Structure 1
Amino acid sequence: MTRRALALLAALIAFGAVLTGCSGAGATSGRPQIVVTTNILGDVVSRLAGEQADVMTLMKPDADPHSFEISAQQADRLAQADLLVSNGLGLEEGLQQHLDRAAEARVRMFVAGDRIDVLPYADGDARGAPDPHFWTDPARMRDVVDALEPALAGIDGVDAAAIRANADAYRADLAALDAEMTAAFAAIPVEKRALVTNHHVFGYLADRFGFRMVGAVIPGGTTLAAPSAADLRNLVTAIEEAGVRAVFAESSQPDRLVRVLAEEADLRVEVVELYTESLTAPGKGADSYLTMMRANTARIAHGLGA
């Protein structure tokens, strides 16, 4: 065979390898492909899946789950996933059309919000609608893990025993987190357990640990809404009546409105940043679900005067 023929053959082989690598999920590593919408759930799924599957998380660190979007390439990966994991309950507003298409294409799906005891929003424009922020309660995250275990173990090519061992270890981590949160919040006097945030995100934490939701700067379940002057006046009144010492701003959202609320209303409150709807980049304070919840617990306890 001539050198030219050999070169042509090598080029054809390389081109074939590229086509094979792009043909579908799992082609490059040989492992099952799991696509997860939010980075909080992506962290949990990665802990459970371990080395048994490749996990692709669509939502970048410090993003807003209500409004983040994905590329055409990511949408294609989503449609080819062996399992698609989403939060549900209306959280992924900017992604819903892609989730609907995946469901129509019969992609195997796991919706975490379908596996928990759902609470409705108790106040604001979204009152009565399902609250998607269940991860603020570690007990409900335990319910998600319990349901995720068989879903992951049922994927072709996955070692069910490895998934079970990973799930057991993570359940122990959640139990430890739950105990730490219980102890920290028990030290806060009942009359001081009042929360004000950018928008309604702590309903599950409040329900589990005995907090009162005084209100939110954005009076709804989504960051895409905007408060009116009347909303802010009502919130100021509620804060003054409750004697709130700290207002909590979310790390994924600018805290300008919260600071304006505190300054223009002449409220003597501390503005405390929390990690609520997104993990951070590695080393930035909340790069895992467990780290995020521990940081928030410490900041809430300190801000409310425990």
Structure 2
Amino acid sequence: MRVRVAAARVRALVLTLISFLVVAGAATGCAGGEDDRPRIVVTTNILGDITREVVGDEAGVSVLMSPNADPHSFGLSAVQAAELENADLVVCNGLGLEENVLRHVEAARTSGVATLAVGEAVDPLRFRTGNDGRPADDVGEPDPHFWTDPDRVRKAVGLIAEQVVEHVDGVSEQAVRDNAARYDGRLADLTTWMETSFAAIPEDRRALVTNHHVFGYLADRFGFRVIGAVVPSGTTLASPSSSDLGSLVRAMEKARVRTVFADSSQPTRLAEVLRRETGGDVDVVPLYSESLTEKGEGAGTYLEMMRANTTAMAASLGGN
């Protein structure tokens, strides 16, 4: 009796194992078929959304940076690093934005993978690193935050389309160019809408203070003054000193600014710091600055992010 029971258990185990191997084989076959498609790997989620609009269904697009992540600090797994070196095309921001990832991009480029550093090709501005009222392009390193100017994103769309057509085999050139043209039209509409929204802000209130220097391109394109930043740097990895905060407070008092725009992930902490330094009330307005959110959380796409930010800025600075 025990022998028959044991044999039955063995047969059941064998059948379970066979079923598992069949399912796994089918899944592997599906994955393998998908892997046979041309692959484009994009470092940041903002560029990932833009690239997907250009590529459409013509190729697979993998985005390395998760929603709500910080581009300055996110890193790669070994699998993601391998993705870069096996891509047909790598699209990155460059200009030091993806601080922990660019060495992997460089390794992929060295191994022969076509790469496009978008930030370097869209006429980058230079940002200042202090709270002293100098123009945003006066000193400092090139500013990687070009996406806050939708006109530069339109240029980026054209560059991405050209690289996809040139380097990614198997895509339809006409489909890619049609996708790019369609998205370019939506970006042109965005620029017009932003101009109209910002037009309602009085000239003396067109002043920006942010958690770090991230909106220089928006300021340059739409006629704002950059007063300063809590972290007077282009990266979130830096920390403000007491003298930095003192300089910012003096600049805010001189410009009569009481509104600070902070990344949506840390407005409360920033508000506490500034209220302590200024000795009074400071209105801290959260914006989506360097990362998209999950779908349905306010900034799931680049267009949604820019519209949300524009609405918040216009409302807080005196627009409609």
Structures share a fold, TM > 0.5?
yes
Residue 125 of structure 2 is aligned to residue 129 of structure 1: no
The residue aligned with 1:112 is 118
Paired AA for residue 97 in structure 1? R
2:198 aligned partner = 185
Structure 2 counterpart SS, 1:94: coil
| Equivalent pair of 2:200/2:318 in contact (CA under 8 Å) | no
Asked whether 1:239 is paired with 2:275, we answer no
**Which stretch has the larger CA shift, 103-112 or 122-131?**
122-131
Q: Judging changes above 3 Å, is the alpha-carbon distance between structure 1 residues 144 and 113 closer, same or farther for their aligned structure 2 residues?
A: same
The corresponding residue for 2:233 is 220
Cα distance change of structure 1 residues 172 and 248 upon mapping to structure 2, 3 Å threshold: same
1:58 and 2:56 aligned: no
User: Secondary structure at the residue paired with 1:122?
Assistant: coil
TM-score (norm 2): 0.86
Give the 3-state SS of the residue equivalent to 1:225 in structure 2.
coil
Partner of 2:308: 295
Range moving further from structure 2, 260-269 or 181-190: 260-269
Residue ranges of structure 1 left out of the alignment (5+ in a row):
1-6
1:265 and 2:278 correspond: yes
- Between stretches 251-260 and 108-117, larger displacement belongs to 251-260
Tell me which residue corresponds to 1:3: none
Is it true that 1:84 corresponds to 2:90 in the alignment? Answer: yes
TM-score under structure 1 length normalisation: 0.90
- Residue identity in the other structure for 1:44: I
Counterpart residue type for residue 147 of structure 2: W
What residue is the counterpart of 2:157 in the other structure?
145
Match for residue 5 of structure 2? none
Cα distance in 2 between the residues matched to 1:130 and 1:255: 29
Could you say which residue in structure 2 is the equivalent of 1:196?
Answer: 209
Query: Aligned in 2, Cα 1:252/1:32: closer, same or farther, shift over 3 Å?
Result: farther
The amino acid across from 1:37 in the alignment is T
> Is the 1:49–1:163 Cα contact (8 Å) retained in structure 2?
yes
Q: C-alpha displacement at 1:10, in angstroms?
A: 11
Structure of larger gyration radius? 2
Q: For 1:195 and 1:121, locate their aligned partners in 2 and report how far apart those are by CA, in whole Å.
A: 14
Provide the C-alpha distance between the structure 2 equivalents of 1:202 and 1:141, rounded to a whole number of angstroms: 14
User: 1:43 and 1:159 mapped to 2: Cα distance?
Assistant: 19
- 5+ residue gaps, structure 2: 1-14
In structure 1, the partner of 2:78 is 72
Residue 18 of structure 1 and its aligned partner are, at CA, apart by 7.9
Cross-structure match for 1:276: 289
Contact 2:249 2:277 in 1 (8 A): no
Matched-pair identity in %: 53
Root mean square deviation, CA, Å:
2.4
How far residue 92 of structure 1 moved from its aligned partner, in angstroms, is: 0.4
Is the alpha carbon distance of 1:32 and 1:253 closer, same or farther for their aligned partners in structure 2, counting shifts above 3 Å? farther
| Count of matched residue pairs | 297
1:11 CA displacement: 10
Report the residue type matching 1:71 in the other structure.
S
Distance, in Å, in 2 between the alignment partners of 1:277 and 1:102 is: 24
Deviation string for 1:232-253 (max 9, x for gaps)? 0110111111111311111244
Contact 1:62 1:251 in 2 (8 A): no
